[in-house]
């Protein structure tokens, strides 16, 4: 209701409620989706938390790019580059014949409701002249293998035109920060995120192997759902062992650039991952704090 999605663009599905679908189970659901939606529909929102994977693929990449069986031969291998990576288009289905997909995932109903409210509140809320800046944090942690993105971090300082103050930090956590727009780090678990004061539309993710396992990860690593529960509006994590290829995780500068230029959370996150086959995108997809219309 909050987003006024027309009834003709809402498809109700019956599918197994379990973390991972088989390729055959997914094929039946995907056929229904492809048959239902008209060419004017440019993206998809999946209103569930599980299933979040199809084999070793994420369910969001499977719906967007098709199930990729080759990625499951060796999950640490190189991925296929997404046509949507850093793309200029705002009409991905029209121009690229793909529909970027995001999972409206939350651990419970109250958290889901708060997530939707943050998404709507985010729209056109940031980047106005004279407003106090918001903060983007990029952390180089004690975990060297999970901190490989540090070489991609943007330069520190205030981006005056966008009203974003970029902070590069050495350490494992951010303490007592307010007006947090973006938080990118690399750890198996990130402490203190519940104490941060997030702005509506905030994005946050941690580079680790199984952050996209949204239901009781067997690895003991933090689920991307914990970012949503803490107050972020969208996140990302991988559902199968990706190794630490930079291309399998959000590119910090690409993510920030598209977001401050007015992209939605779905657009900015999808455009920031070059090899997204194993990564699940979660959150309120239409949140667009820097959009002007």
* Domain ranges, residue 107: 1-129+201-293
Token reading at 98: 């793909």
Instruction: Specify the pLDDT at position 139.
Output: 98
Cα dihedral sign, 62-84-251-71: positive
Instruction: Specify the pLDDT at position 1.
Output: 61
**Among 126, 148, 132, CA closest to 202:** 126
Determine, yes or no, domain membership for 136.
Answer: no
Domains contained in the chain, number:
1
Helix, strand or coil for residue 54? strand
Cα angle 291, 292, 293; round to 5: 100
- Contacts of 182 by beta carbon, 8 Å cutoff, 6+ apart: 135, 136, 137, 138, 164, 202, 203, 204, 255, 256, 259
Q: What is the pTM of this model?
A: 0.97
Instruction: Specify the pLDDT at position 94.
Output: 98
CA distances from 194 to 125, 176, 178, 256 (A): 22, 10, 12, 22
Cα dihedral sign, 271-273-277-283: negative
Cα angle 78, 82, 83; round to 5: 145
- Say whether pLDDT at 216 is over 70: no
Compute the average pLDDT of residues 193-208: 98
Helix or strand run (H / E) with residue 122: helix 109-122
What is the tens place of the pLDDT at every residue in 126-145?
999 999 999 999 999 999 99
Separation of alpha carbons 290 and 264, rounded Å: 8
Determine, yes or no, domain membership for 244.
Answer: yes
Half-sphere exposure of 288 (CA within 13 A, CB side): 14
CA distances from 29 to 59, 69, 285 (A): 11, 17, 21
**Among 197, 246, 239, CA closest to 221:** 239
Cα angle 138, 263, 274; round to 5: 60
- Say whether pLDDT at 113 is over 70: yes
List phi, psi (to 5°) of 12.
-95, 130
Instruction: Specify the pLDDT at position 283.
Output: 98
Determine, yes or no, domain membership for 272.
Answer: yes
What is the tens place of the pLDDT at every residue in 5-62?
899 999 999 999 999 999 999 999 999 999 999 999 999 999 999 999 999 999 999 9
What is the tens place of the pLDDT at every residue in 72-110?
999 999 999 999 999 999 999 999 999 999 999 999 999
Separation of alpha carbons 42 and 208, rounded Å: 30
Helix or strand run (H / E) with residue 45: strand 44-46
Instruction: Specify the pLDDT at position 215.
Output: 86
- Residue 159 is classified by DSSP as E
Picking from 177-181, 210-214, 218-222, 271-275, which range would have the lowest pLDDT averaged per residue? 218-222
Determine, yes or no, domain membership for 167.
Answer: no
Q: What percent of the chain has pLDDT over 70?
A: 99
């Amino acid at each position: 209701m909050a987003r006024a999605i027309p009834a003709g663009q809402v498809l109700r599905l019956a599918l197994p409620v379990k973390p991972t679908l088989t390729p055959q189970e997914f094929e039946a659901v995907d056929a229904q989706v492809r048959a239902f939606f008209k060419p004017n529909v440019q993206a998809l929102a999946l209103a569930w938390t599980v299933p979040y994977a199809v084999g070793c693929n994420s369910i969001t990449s499977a719906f967007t790019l098709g199930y990729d069986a080759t990625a499951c031969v060796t999950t640490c291998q190189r991925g296929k580059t997404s046509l949507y990576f850093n793309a200029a288009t705002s009409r991905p289905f029209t121009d690229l014949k793909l529909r970027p997909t995001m999972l409206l995932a939350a651990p419970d109903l109250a958290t889901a409701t708060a997530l939707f409210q943050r998404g709507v509140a985010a729209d056109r809320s940031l980047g106005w002249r004279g407003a106090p800046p918001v903060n983007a944090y990029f952390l180089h942690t004690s975990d060297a293998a999970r901190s490989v993105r540090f070489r991609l971090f943007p330069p520190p300082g205030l981006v005056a035109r966008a009203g974003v103050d970029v902070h590069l930090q050495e350490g494992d956590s951010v303490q007592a920060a307010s007006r947090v727009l973006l938080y990118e780090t690399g750890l198996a678990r990130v402490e203190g995120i519940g104490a941060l004061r997030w702005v509506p539309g905030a994005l946050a993710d941690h580079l680790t192997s199984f952050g996209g396992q949204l239901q009781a990860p067997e690895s003991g690593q933090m689920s991307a759902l914990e970012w949503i529960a803490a107050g972020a509006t969208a996140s990302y994590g991988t559902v199968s062992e990706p190794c630490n290829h930079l291309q399998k995780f959000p590119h910090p500068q690409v993510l920030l650039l598209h977001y401050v230029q007015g992209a939605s959370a779905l657009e900015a996150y999808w455009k920031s991952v070059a090899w997204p086959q194993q990564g699940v995108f979660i959150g309120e997809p239409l949140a667009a704090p820097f959009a002007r219309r």
